[in-house]
Amino acid sequence: MSDARTPGFATLSVHAGAQPDPATGARSTPIYQTTAFVFDDVDHAASLFGLQAFGNIYTRITNPTTAVLEERVAALEGGTAALVVATGHSAQLVAFHTLMQPGDEIVAATKLYGGSINQLNHSFKSFGWNVVWADTDNIQSFADAITDKTRAVFIESLANPAGTVIDIEAIAKIAKDAGVPLIVDNTMATPYLCQPIRHGADIVIHSLTKFMGGHGNSMGGAIVDAGSFDWTSSGNYPLLSEPRPEYQNMKLHETFGNFAFAIACRVLGLRDLGPAISPTNSFNILTGIETLPLRMQKHADNAMEVAKYLDNHDRIEWVSYCGLPTHPNHALQQKYLPKGAGAVFTFGLKGGYDAGVALVSNVGLLSHLANIGDTRSLVIHPASTTHRQLTDEQKVTAGAGPDVIRISVGIEDAPDIIADLEQALAAF
């Protein structure tokens, strides 16, 4: 591409990070399905292991197929660098591993994906990391929750499952004033609908399994470094600011500057924790991203049609879709996601828990399964599945009460999606 102009989003979705293969001329990025790579000589090997040169050693750490995916995701999010790993959950693990020491705290939004709530509440405690919850409907609660032990603030740009929008800029200011990074999970929105770095985020997390890959066939996760945070001044991030004995006492932030966080996640987290993505999954997700802007617009347009239909149905108690003008987050949606409110939202059935179970049991075109972001329309009853491990109070707080249905609207024809919901609602 020419350097004379900045490419548009759709162009970056197709081209960022990729060139014809120099060995074969292949236009699509090849799948480099190998575990390891031959060194030029001993000195070359030493420079790679010592971080004096960039290159491939072992696919757990770097791989040429995955490198293209990393560059593309970073370009779409407006970051300085990215690291791609096996899943969205492992992206969170590696990111927090780079920031946290035993006894440190994360301030997290109450409205998060149920698996993330479980990870923060339970699994991370094994590392001695603690979570303090803040109310997304009360921005001041984030400031009130921050202490001298806080090392990160964690939110979702578009919350799963309710599809609500959070005021990223307001929380980014709170985090900046406190001297801690803001981490934003942008899985549900994707950079097509929202770019959190533009609104003050320091780190962006993705489950690439969802809308970025988009076809429900491959798992992956990403960490994007905005290059905006000072990792040294506070002394609170020793993995980045202090000498690393495994790398000849190199100080990663001093050496790598505005992409030091991405480097640290790779050479201190991925290297030792090991959640590497397979080259084949990287290839599949790369292929999916090529159509990201086309798919996301169709997802959002379809979701609006479905939300309007449900909002006028006599068996529906309520619809939580921020694209509807009546939604309390509609103004935030217009600010942060002006192209559309995404594909995932929730609605409440008259009849509560039993009605929710009946609906998901009677769909035909829609698939009842625990995923979002597929080309196909998906539906689930979170209280009995994805959020089942939470208490009843936590379920309600997370937007997954007993009457709640979550729908991930696909790219089929909207009248067909609506017809399937109509027959399912009529069946009980």
For 352-386, write each residue's pLDDT tens digit.
888 988 999 999 999 999 999 999 999 999 878 87
Name the pLDDT band for 64 (thresholds 50, 70, 90).
very high
Distance (Å, rounded) from C-alpha 37 to C-alpha 57? 5
Report percent pLDDT > 70 for the chain.
Answer: 99
Q: Where are the domains of the chain?
A: 18-288, 292-426
* C-beta of residue 420 within 8 angstroms of C-beta of residue 368: no
Report percent pLDDT > 90 for the chain.
Answer: 88
Q: What is the pTM of this model?
A: 0.95
Question: What's residue 384's pLDDT?
Answer: 80
**For residue 72, how many C-alpha atoms fall within 13 Å in the half-sphere facing its CB?**
33
Q: Which CATH number fits domain 292-426: 3.40.50.300, 3.30.70.20, 3.40.1370.10, 3.90.1150.10?
A: 3.90.1150.10
Higher-pLDDT residue of 315 and 395 is 315
Dihedral-angle region of residue 118 (phi above 0 means left; psi in -120 to 50 means alpha; beta otherwise) = alpha
Burial class (CB in 10 A: 0-12, 13-18, 19+), 122: exposed
CATH of domain 18-288: 3.40.640.10
- Averaged pLDDT score across all residues of the chain: 95
* Nearest Cα residue to 425 out of 364, 338, 336, 370: 364
* Nearest Cα residue to 368 out of 378, 356, 382: 378
Distance (Å, rounded) from C-alpha 330 to C-alpha 178? 29
For 136-166, write each residue's pLDDT tens digit.
999 999 999 999 999 999 999 999 888 899 9
Name the pLDDT band for 3 (thresholds 50, 70, 90).
low
* Equal CATH topology for 18-288 and 292-426: no
Question: What's residue 2's pLDDT?
Answer: 52
CA distances 128 to 96, 99, 105, 145, Å, are 12, 13, 9, 18
Secondary structure (DSSP) of 365-414: SSEESS----SS-EEE-GGGTTTTTS-HHHHHHTT--TTEEEEE--SS-H
Lowest mean pLDDT among 20-24, 61-65, 397-401: 397-401
Mean pLDDT along residues 59-85: 98
Mean pLDDT along residues 9-33: 95
For 250-285, write each residue's pLDDT tens digit.
999 999 999 999 999 999 999 999 999 999 999 999
For 114-137, write each residue's pLDDT tens digit.
889 999 999 999 999 999 999 999
Residue with token string 């499952």: 161
Q: Beta partners for 378?
A: 367, 408
Q: What H or E segment, with its residue span, contains residue 311?
A: helix 292-311
For 315-353, write each residue's pLDDT tens digit.
999 999 999 999 999 999 999 999 999 999 999 999 988
